[in-house]
Amino acid sequence: MAIARDKALKAEKRFRIAAYITGGMLLLLTAEMVLKYAFGVEIEAGGPFGFLALVPTDTTVAINISTWILIVHGWLYVVYLFASFQLWTAMRWPLLYFPLLALGGVVPFLSFITEGRVRRMVDEATR
C-alpha cells in the first residue's frame, strides 16, 4: 500500500504540533489535579487574594483557573484526536495504531514519546 508522501508529511506536522500543545496542557492539568486532590486548593484569578491565588477547593469567587485548564485541555484533546486520525489515515496504519495515538493525550508525557516515535516512522515511510 503506497502512501501519499505530501499528505503524510503535512499530517505528521499537524500531529506534532497538537501533541506538544496537548501534552503541555495535560502536564498543567496533572499539576492542577495534584493541587486540588492532594492539597485541597484551586487556582483563582482576579479574586480578593490577588491576581493569582491558591484558594481552598470550592471557595473560588472569581475566575476559576483550575476549571479553565480542564476545559481547554478537553478541547485541545479533541484537536489532538483529529490530528491523530488524519495521520493514521494518511499513513494507512493498522487499526490498533489509532487507539495508541489517542492515549498520548491522556497519559502524562506519552504524547511527547509518541510524537518522537511517530516522527521516525513517518520519516522511514516517506523516504
Question: Between the CA atoms of 73, 76, 77 and 83, what dihedral angle is there, to the nearest 10 degrees?
Answer: -160
2 pLDDT more than 90:
no
What number is the average pLDDT over the span 82-101?
96
CA dihedral for 43, 46, 50, 56, sign (positive or negative): negative
What is the average pLDDT value for the chain, to the nearest integer? 95
H or E, element range at 2: none
CA separation, residue 89 to residues 8, 57, 84, 93, 127 (Å):
9, 43, 9, 7, 18
pTM, full prediction: 0.92
Q: What is the pLDDT of residues 40-91, one digit of tens each?
A: 999 999 999 999 999 999 999 999 999 999 999 999 999 999 999 999 999 9
φ, ψ of residue 45 in degrees (nearest 5): -120, 135
Confidence at 102, pLDDT banded by 50, 70, 90:
very high
As beta bridge partners, residue 47 has 50
Confidence at 3, pLDDT banded by 50, 70, 90:
confident
Ordered by start, the domain boundaries in the chain are 5-125
Q: What percent of the chain has pLDDT over 70?
A: 99
Cell of 20: 506538544
25 pLDDT more than 80:
yes
Confidence at 36, pLDDT banded by 50, 70, 90:
very high
pLDDT reported for residue 1: 58
Confidence at 96, pLDDT banded by 50, 70, 90:
very high
- Give the span between the Cα atoms of 5 and 47, in whole angstroms: 52
